[in-house]
Amino acid sequence: MKLLEGKTAVITGSSRGLGFAIAKAFAEQGASIVLAARTADTLNSAVAELKNQGYQAEGFICDTARIEDVEGLAQRAVSTFGHLDIWVNNAGIGAPYGSTMSISPERIKKVVDTNIIGVYHGSYVAMRQFLAQGSGKLINLLGRGDSGPMPYQNAYASSKAWVKNFTQALAREYAGTGIEVMAFNPGLVITEMLTQVDAIVGFEKKVLPLNTVIRFWGNLPEVPARKVVWMASSATDRRNGLIVNFLSFGRLIAGVGKELWRWITHAPISTPIIKVRITKS
């Protein structure tokens, strides 16, 4: 039997990147999937790809900053597949790389709306459903900055610190209810969000060392997605409050060894080079 056989899962921000990789990994393990994103074209393409491979998948256009959209997303999952078992708050955006005062309030607000308000809305809607049925798994995505301040990435990093604290508090509040509230930090995932970086004028050179970091520890989205499958499965039953950091100490050491071997063997660099787009705010 597949790990998620008979389960229904919602994944926000799932038309591409890590979100789509999670959706596909869930589908491969037997789950019915509801993908959610703001852009219809990419969402429809993602749903069509899964359906063409024989998976049960539906799409729902959703801006997670709008509670009515998120409520509609949950309703679509239940009306289409009959139940809702797993909810992954994956949708997230970043602000340009640069000092906090050089970034416009509008850009900061967009990060807050998606990374904080969106996670709150998703958690609120999912938890209401889960509490009514006495079961469910809520997984919130973390990221760089969840364990401490990150200068020049203050908006994104601070939002992830909020998500971590919010998730841990929520888990404690609803301990013993049959619901697992968890968080996952996928580490460095090689997607457009990582490799196409906006930088404030004058800060673009500070981004370039990230190329080396990606060579050491970057992973294609399919790799951390497999860990999310494990978190969504029965393996984490009664492990409410679980926080998983994919970039473990062992993976840190393995990344160093991999890059050292590449250097010794003169193998070509296989990871993408970061493209920096310069902006004024």
- 235: CATH: 3.40.50.720
On whether the CB atoms of residues 60 and 34 are closer than 8 A, the answer is yes
The residues carrying an active-site annotation are 156, 160
Per the domain annotation, does 212 fall within a domain? no
pLDDT at 1 over 90: no
Asked whether residue 203 carries a pLDDT value surpassing 90, the answer given is yes
Q: For residue 178, is it within any domain?
A: yes
Per-residue confidence (pLDDT) for residue 165, from 0 to 100: 98
Instruction: Measure the CA–CA gap between 113 and 92, rounded to whole angstroms.
Output: 9
Inside any domain, residue 268 = no
For the record, the structure tokens of 103 come out as 């970034």
What's the whole-number mean pLDDT along residues 217-230? 97
Q: Please state the domain count of the chain.
A: 1
Assess if residue 116 is contained within a domain: yes
pLDDT at 170 over 90: yes
Within-domain flag for 201: no
What pLDDT score does 25 carry? Answer: 98
- For 217, phi then psi, to 5°, come to -130, 10
Structure tokens given for 174: 């609803």
Please give the pLDDT value at position 113: 98
Q: What is the mean pLDDT of residues 219-240?
A: 98
Can you give the pTM of this predicted structure? 0.96
Query: Per the domain annotation, does 276 fall within a domain?
Result: no
What residues make up the domain containing 165?
Answer: 8-191+218-250
For residue 125, pLDDT over 90 is answered with yes
Question: From CA 203, how far away is CA 111, in angstroms rounded?
Answer: 20
Domain-located, residue 115: yes
229 inside domain = yes
Between 106 and 249, where is the model more confident?
A: 106
Residues sharing a CB contact under 8 Å with residue 266, sequence separation 6 or more, in sequence order:
none
